[in-house]
Amino acid sequence: MGFSEICNTGLVLGLGLSSTNEPKSEKPILKLSEPSLALSLSGDLRYDRTVKKVVNISDQTDKLYRQDSTVTSLSNLSVKRDRELGNEEGDIERVCSRFIDEDDEGSNGRKKLRLTKVQSALLEESFKQHSTLNPKQKQELAGELHLRPRQVEVWFQNRRARTKLKQTEVDCEYLKKCYGSLTEENRRLQKELQELKAQKLAQPFYMAATLSMCPSCERIGGGGGKVPAKSPFLITPKPHFYSPFANPPATC
């Protein structure tokens, strides 16, 4: 990865936290999984955040899933046992039963589904092909995985967020390395400057010769523009102004 690519990531390093969200304490609290609301949602009525009212969603398949994330919980033991034993054959059945039983849940806050290895693998595979889904793809994948489209959508959202976070961490490490090597370069140049100044003071008649020795490359350089263009002494001065954009350090 080149430095210019890093610069295109939109990565911004800063100390402040940016948040457009209002303080949580000021948020209107509305959780459909709360008992008082869940009781009224067992039928086809559901709260729609977009219209801020309870609506009939019997014909809105995707919306059906939007606000209802709660699933029937299974005992932790059985899930753990399945995972430990690599029991994937029961996965689909388990998820199906959760799906079907969703309506009899909701009396005790949200429960969290753990995706099975098979489901995760399929989602990952799909994510590799395209990090976003169109509605048809979402529907198909949801059907294949026996999940709700909303769950697939959420998984992709979270997956994108994780990918971005990881990339940001990588970028951050890269920039740290660049910072380190630039600091080192700066230190070296400062030292070189000190040496040049000391040399200049020690050799007061040195300038008369219009030639100088660069201590870093130990080559003779011209002075005062008096050296002919084709002179064997003419050198391309080493760029002392370091540009990380044009010339990233070897350590990066």
Interface with DNA (CB under 7 A): 17-22, 24, 27-28, 30-33, 49-51, 60, 62-63, 67-71, 73, 76, 79-80, 83, 109-115, 120, 132-133, 135, 138, 150-151, 153-162, 164
CB of 228 to DNA, least distance (A): 58
CB environment 108-142: b (16+ within 10 A), e (fewer):
eebeebebbeebeebbeebbeeeeebeeebbeebb
Which residues does 245 contact at the CB level (< 8 Å), separation at least 6? 3, 4, 7
| Residue 47 contacts residue 30 (beta carbons within 8 Å) | yes
SS3 breakdown of the chain: % helix, strand, coil, rounded to 5?
50, 5, 45
| Nearer CB in complex with DNA: 3/65 | 65
| Nearer CB in complex with DNA: 59/218 | 59
CB neighbours of residue 82 within 10 Å: 19
**Residue appearing with tokens 């890269």:** 174
| Nearer CB in complex with DNA: 158/203 | 158
| Nearer CB in complex with DNA: 142/252 | 142
CB of 31 to DNA, least distance (A): 4
CB of 4 to DNA, least distance (A): 20
CB of 128 to DNA, least distance (A): 16
CB of 174 to DNA, least distance (A): 19
| Nearer CB in complex with DNA: 65/252 | 65
Helix ranges (H only) for the chain are 3-7, 35-38, 61-66, 76-85, 91-100, 117-129, 135-145, 149-202
